[in-house]
Amino acid sequence: MIEKQPLYYPDYLQLNKILNAQDCESAKFGEQAHDETLFIITHQTYELWFKQIIHELDSMIHIFKENFVAEESLHTIVSRLKRVVEIQKILIEQIRVMETMTPLDFMDFRDYLLPASGFQSLQFRFVEVKLGLKSEYRTPMEKKFFNSRLNEVDKKALADVEKQPGLFSLVERWLERMPFTDIEGFDYWHKFQQIVIGMFQRDRVTIENNPFLNQELKALELNNLVQTQHSFDVLFNDEEYDKILKTGQRRLSRKATLAAVFILLNRDEPILSLPFDLLQSLIDIDELFTTWRYRHAIMAHRLLGSKIGTGGSSGHEYLKKTTENSRVFLDFFNLATFLIPKSLRPELPETLKRELGFGFYKNR
């Protein structure tokens, strides 16, 4: 048995390495720029948090790779997703610290950084890919910068990660296995469609008889209603849904989409509580990374104006464009399109409600 030696706090955290890892480039060319230390520490902190996010994602991916995800494992996944969400909030708040640096302060050392840039953050690329944002889903402009600034060793590491399934595809597979709507003698989606048809018919009558809308506004409202109804129709048409998948407008399979809609509609059922939290956490992660990217773009504009970035991009304009194009779980946001009021939901048969309840309820 190994004898436990007393542990010293600085040694455990390897503070000698961490606190001496701020090597300012400006000091090599004369007087050190005061704000370069802030710049380095902020970005080192980002990388440490990226490392933790990757650690959490790897654990979730490992669980989801199994053909069966136990209830206890689902709790673990949701807890770790929520941890990632809290880390993301810190990443966003760090921008406020960076914004205490003025453009003139940044110019004191910016030119010494060329051609280094955030494009060379391998860990952030890992985060994107592990979430599910692989190169095939990027715009041509994004593909140009995706790995072009990396060295050959990092390019290979990124290519290896791209070969592995990301969280999006694994969650999709997990949703496709959900059994609750496939109950003998009970067609949930037929009942759902009948309710939706009635809902749209009532909405049409309401619009046509609304005395506060002129003909132009009525036409606009009716057109919106038709578009929404078309979205519902496509959801129940394999051929039409496949066409949309091929265009890239959606990534989530029809089967997985239906399962996710069922979870959102019946979130109050005990067994669906954790799946609901999981879907909401994925939406939170997507929203917060979108917010972080946007805040980063605004900060770049504040510090650089219309100058190009150190990595050769068009600066804040490029960053703003990638903000919307880099969303992984957009399909989960769009699920709200298919929700109906709780009062109109199809009533679940008692046998199914027992399946969705807690164990002690089943035996009552």
Quick: pLDDT tens for 132-165: 998 888 877 777 777 778 999 999 999 999 999 9
Residue range 332-359: average pLDDT?
88
d(CA 325, CA 142): 9
Per residue in 160-169, is it b (16+ CB within 10 Å) or e — as a string?
ebbeeebbbb
pLDDT at residue 208, as a whole number: 94
**CA 286/CA 327 separation, integer angstroms:** 6
User: 118 pLDDT band (50/70/90 cuts)?
Assistant: confident
DSSP E strands in the chain: the ranges are 182-183, 186-187
Distance of CA 82 to the CA centre of its chain: 12
Q: What are the Cα distances from residue 134, in Å, to 126, 150, 167, 284, 324?
A: 10, 16, 11, 20, 15
Q: Which domains can be identified in the chain, with CATH numbers?
A: 31-362 (1.20.58.480)
Residue pair 109/39 in contact (Cβ under 8 Å)? The answer is yes
User: What is the DSSP-derived secondary structure letter of residue 68?
Assistant: -
Question: How crowded is residue 246: how many other Cβ atoms within 10 Å of its Cβ?
Answer: 9
**C-beta of residue 326 within 8 angstroms of C-beta of residue 126:** no
pLDDT band, residue 315 (cuts 50/70/90) = low
Q: Measuring CA to CA, how many Å separate 348 from each of 72, 192, 266, 345, 357?
A: 25, 11, 9, 9, 12
Look up tokens 């910016």; give the residue. 110
Could you give the C-alpha distances from 166 to 79, 130, 154, in angstroms and in order?
A: 19, 5, 19
Q: 73-85, pLDDT tens digit by residue?
A: 999 999 999 999 9
Residue 248 has pLDDT above 50, yes or no: yes
Question: For residue 90, what are its two tokens?
Answer: 């810190």
Largest CA distance in the chain: 85
Residue 134 φ/ψ, nearest 5 degrees: -90, 170
What pLDDT score does 38 carry?
97
Residue 364 is predicted with a pLDDT of 43
- Label residue 218 exposed, middle or buried (CB < 10 Å: 0-12, 13-18, 19+): middle
Percentage of the residues of the chain whose pLDDT score is greater than 70: 94
